[in-house]
Structure 1
Amino acid sequence: MDVNKEEILEELRSVFLNKTFDALLPPLVYAVSNSIFGLLPAVILAVTTALFNFTRRLIKKENWKYSLGGLVGVIFASSLAYLSNNASSYFIPALTSSSLFLLAALITLLVGKPLAAWASHLSRGWPLAWFWRDDVKPAYREVTIFWAIYFGLRLTIQLNLFFSEAVLNLAWVNIILGWPAISVVLIISYIYGVWRLNNLGGPGVDEFKKEKEPPWDGQKRGF
């Protein structure tokens, strides 16, 4: 299945537009500041950085909702670190996120309703009945297995560094295995998913909605 570069970039922009900078900068500032100045200055600088990102988007009239969520997240993570007097505690939300995604992937695989299908349904609004077809669901199941492997590996590395209290290394791992790695995971998922749907020979979403009879053209774009 031929998936062109413009199509992939458009799919990624719909998910990550304006998010990467806001997500990466505060934890990096926190980790570097902690190694140089100590915990309290690191907490102050991380919150200040997130507040700056939020304010900048408000002034430029950009989408500020993600920055607001990031600000709240940084305040919460910084509070955990400060109250526990443990710099590694800043990354507990990241550990929790990895655990929840892994758990969600495994549970949905066990019940036969793969996470990738739910994610696509929620983001695209396609009918759930289409995802559960025998000639559609295997693609979403296989992508969900891929996601489970990724989150399992990420959680293993994060836990090892967390218990070692390697704060700076943990920050770099969270950055690298955060949006950059997720972008790669989604690109692979999208390319494989579209190819697999066509390989399975089921109807495309529009064909399913219109109750067309086979032979079908299949899902040519979107996963």
Structure 2
Amino acid sequence: MAKWQELIEEAKSVVSGKTLDAVFPPFLFVFSNSFFGLNTAVGIALFSAVLLGVLRLIRKENWLYAVGGFLGVGFASGFAYVTDSAANYFIPTVISSAALVFVAFATLVIGKPLAAWVSHLTRGWPLEWFWRSDVKAAYREVTWLWLLFFLFRLIVHVVLLIDGNALALVWVNTILGWPGIVTVLVISYIYGIWRLRQLGGPGVDEFIAGKEAPWKGQTRGF
């Protein structure tokens, strides 16, 4: 029970209420395009982003989410409007997936895996701990998982984009968006903790305190 509660807390820290911003505008865009045309769909999608932003501000949530959501929808809508193709609404998603594939692969090549950088930036743990041989392997393997996920998402999006299937794109974007990312992150967390224990290195607190082996290892957080 405690482990499930831990996983739920970790998932909540990742999602942070951003799922609606990522899912609602694309669905509304494709639905509106089917009935009212591209120009109206662009306007409705932008209005929905503004509305979500206002709701966030009223609820005193981070205003950066509101701005980020609006810019994301505006960027995507701009692609669709300029190219006169509803399917091109998802070009920014293709670009972001390609960028993540490149970054993940590049960090693996240089031996500084992306998963370690993400954990360092979100948790503030010392970088020196991540680069230990009895720690880094776990983050390298998780980074490979991320690379394969984003590569798969990229391939699916490109195929559907070439086909011009906007409805399929919105469904794929929804499934492989936050739901897919959260699923991958939960798997990463479970595997990462298990792998760190297998490697037998010190936990972060033990590393910071300068404790000598034998170590208890990392028991929570990845």
TM range (shorter): over 0.9
Q: Which amino acid aligns with 2:195?
A: R
8 Å Cα contact 2:14-2:182 kept in structure 1 = no
The two structures have a TM-score, normalised by structure 2, of 0.97
Change (3 A) 1:3 1:185: farther
Q: Percent identity?
A: 55
Shift of residue 63, structure 1, vs aligned partner? 2.8
Q: Which amino acid aligns with 2:117?
A: W
The equivalent of 1:180 in structure 2 is: 179
The equivalent of 2:198 in structure 1 is: 199
Shift of residue 67, structure 1, vs aligned partner? 2.2
Map 1:83-162 → 2, pairs under 5 A: 83-162=82-161
Q: Which amino acid aligns with 2:191?
A: Y
Q: Distance in 1 between matches of 2:58 and 2:2?
A: 38
Map 1:28-39 → 2, pairs under 5 A: 28-39=27-38
Q: Distance in 1 between matches of 2:187 and 2:29?
A: 31
Q: Distance in 2 between matches of 1:40 and 1:154?
A: 28
Change (3 A) 1:96 1:3: farther
Q: Count matched residues.
A: 222
Regions of 4+ moved over 6 Å: none
Q: Distance in 1 between matches of 2:22 and 2:82?
A: 23
Structure 2 spans left out of the alignment, 5+ residues? none
Shift of residue 9, structure 1, vs aligned partner? 1.1
8 Å Cα contact 2:80-2:89 kept in structure 1 = yes
**Higher mean displacement: 61-70 or 177-186:** 61-70
Shift of residue 3, structure 1, vs aligned partner? 7.0
The two structures have a TM-score, normalised by structure 1, of 0.96
Structure 1 spans left out of the alignment, 5+ residues? none
Q: Which amino acid aligns with 2:131?
A: W
Q: CA RMSD in A?
A: 1.2
8 Å Cα contact 2:57-2:66 kept in structure 1 = no
What is the CA deviation profile of residues 148-174 of structure 1, one whole-angstrom value per residue up to 9, with x for unaligned ones? Answer: 110111000000000100011111111
8 Å Cα contact 1:51-1:71 kept in structure 2 = yes
The equivalent of 2:8 in structure 1 is: 9
